[in-house]
Amino acid sequence: MSTIPREGIKASEPLRPEPATVLDVITETPNIKSLRLAFDDESLMQSFSFLQGQVGQLSVPGAGEATFAIASPPSQREYFQFSVMKTGVVTTAIHELRAGDRVAVRAPMGNTFPTDDWKGRNIVVIGGGIGMAPLRSLFMYLEDHRDDYGGLQLIYGARTPKDVCYLDDCRQWEAGSDIDFVTSVDT
Amino acid sequence: MKFIAAKKIPDLLGLLARDARVWAPLVPEDSADTLLFLPWEPGAEVDLERFTQVSPKKLVMPGSEPLFSFSYSMAVDCERLEIGDARGVPGAGGASDADGAGEAPGAATVLFGARACDARSLTVLDALFGLEPGEAYNDPLYRARRAALTVVTLACTSCDAACFCSSWAEGPASTEGSDLILYPVEGGYLARGVSDRGEALLVLDIWEESEQPLPELAETDRVPFGTLNTKLLEIFSDMDFWERATERCVSCGYCTYACPTCYCFNIFDEMRGSRDGERCRSWDACMFYLYTLETSGHNPRPTIAHRYRNRIGHKFSYYPENQGTTLCTGCGRCIRGCPVGLDIRDVLRGAGER
Judge whether residue B92 has pLDDT over 70.
no
Average pLDDT over residues B261-277: 91
Dump pLDDT digits (tens) for A147-186.
Answer: 999 999 999 999 999 999 999 999 999 998 899 999 998 8
Specify the amino acid at residue A34.
S
- Which residues sit opposite A84 in a β-bridge? A33
Quick one: which of B143, B89, B284 has its CA closest to A15?
B143
Among A47-51, B121-125, B273-277, name the one with the lowest average pLDDT. B273-277
The alpha-carbon gap from B81 to the nearest alpha carbon of chain A, in Å, equals 7
Does the beta-carbon distance from A64 to B268 stay under 8 Å? yes
pLDDT score for A2: 37
Average pLDDT over residues B243-264: 97
The alpha-carbon gap from B268 to the nearest alpha carbon of chain A, in Å, equals 6
Give dist(CA B63, CA B128) in Å, integer.
17
Contacts of A104 in chain B (CB under 8 A): 70, 81, 83
Residue B144 phi, psi dihedral angles, 5° rounding? -65, -40
Domain boundaries, chain B: 2-353
pLDDT score for A185: 87
ipTM of the complex: 0.85
Dump pLDDT digits (tens) for B325-346.
Answer: 999 999 999 999 999 999 999 9
pLDDT-above-90 percentage for chain B: 77
Contacts of A41 (CB under 8 A, 6+ apart): A18, A19
Nearest to A62 among B72, B79, B80 (CB): B72
Contacts 24+ apart (CB under 8 A), A176-181: A178/A146, A178/A152, A179/A143, A179/A152, A179/A153, A179/A154, A180/A151, A180/A152, A180/A153, A180/A154, A181/A153, A181/A154, A181/A156
Dump pLDDT digits (tens) for B5-49.
Answer: 999 999 999 999 999 999 999 999 989 999 999 999 999 999 999
Judge whether residue B95 has pLDDT over 60.
no
pLDDT score for A7: 56
Domains, chain A, ordered by start: 18-109 (2.40.30.10), 115-185 (3.40.50.80)
Judge whether residue B279 has pLDDT over 50.
yes
Average pLDDT over residues B210-221: 97
pLDDT score for A1: 36
- Spans of chain A below 50 pLDDT: 1-6
pLDDT score for B130: 81
Beta strand pairing status for A123-128 and A152-158?
Answer: parallel
pLDDT score for A3: 43
Contacts of B68 in chain A (CB under 8 A): 15-16
Substitution target in B69, B79, B83 with the highest count of A β-carbons within 10 Å is B83
